[in-house]
Amino acid sequence: MYQTILLQMVAPIRNICLFLLLGCVCPMQAQLHFNADVKSNHLWRGIEVADGVVLTADVNYSLLDGMVNIGLWGGTNATGTYKEFNNHLSLCYRGFSLSFWDTYNFSPGATYNNREFFNYQAHETGRFLDATASYHFGKKFPLLLSWSTVLFGRDRNTENTANKYSTFCYAEYAVYQNECWQIDAGIGGAFALNRSGDSSHFYGDKAGIVHMMLKVTRRVNIGKWKLPIYACALWNPQSDRAFLQIGAQVFSF
């Protein structure tokens, strides 16, 4: 029964049709957005997902003055060893946000099922559905707090009989910001809601801090074109690893 409910939640075609219909009903409140980034690697929640030059792009459609957003996100690297394609849906009101990411990494070297995009069988699928609830306090107190849990997919126990519901809790604060510069610091910990005799989770082997981040962004104006360039240092105390990322948002509208 629970698997059926989750399948209905993540069906991308249904979401796309529904929100395109809403956009037709209220076109004055709908906007299409597109952005692309080039970076030295792809980092996510204490993990280096891909190395080498990585290109990521996001096409999304916002409705009701930005309160509803539905989009497609993809990424690949220069060598072709990393390929990812995701559907995402978010609901926002003031500082609150609830988002769902249906993530499908079909990199050639994957050790899981990555050849069946529409396979939503919990014990077989290579995708995962991640839900995040967050709150941003605003410009005067630029603190972001979020709670993310993997609700479905390749986040399974050793026997492949149940989901672990791996959870990532995160706090990020803009330490310094002006018209040109911004410095952000963040820290995140992870654990499994369903241990099932095993303390490992999606992000590591045991509960603890998996993500410590310091990011510096410089906004460069080239005529009317704004180019954010950033450098991000990431430490993962649990895996005893550290990464440096350099990137730029090369296109955004």
pLDDT at position 28 is: 52
CATH number at residue 158: 2.40.160.40
Per-residue pLDDT tens digits for 160-210:
999 999 999 999 999 999 989 999 999 999 999 998 778 899 999 999 999
Residue 28 to residues 61, 70, 72: CA-CA distances in angstroms?
13, 17, 22
Number of structural domains, the chain?
Answer: 1
Closest CA to 228 of 245, 246, 248, 251: 248
The Cβ of residue 72 has, within 10 Å, a number of other Cβ atoms equal to: 15
8 — phi, psi (to 5°)? -65, -30
Higher pLDDT among residues 83 and 224, named by residue: 83
Element (H, E) at 3: helix 2-10
Expressed as residue numbers, the domain containing 210 is: 2-252
Check if the beta carbon of residue 202 is closer than 8 Å to that of residue 154. no
pLDDT-based confidence at 33, cuts 50/70/90? Answer: very high
* β-bridge partners, 214: 185, 233
Per-residue pLDDT tens digits for 196-244:
778 899 999 999 999 999 999 999 988 778 899 999 999 999 999 999 9
Q: What is the mean pLDDT of residues 43-47?
A: 98
Higher pLDDT among residues 1 and 126, named by residue: 126
Give the global pTM.
Answer: 0.87
Q: How many residues does the chain have?
A: 253
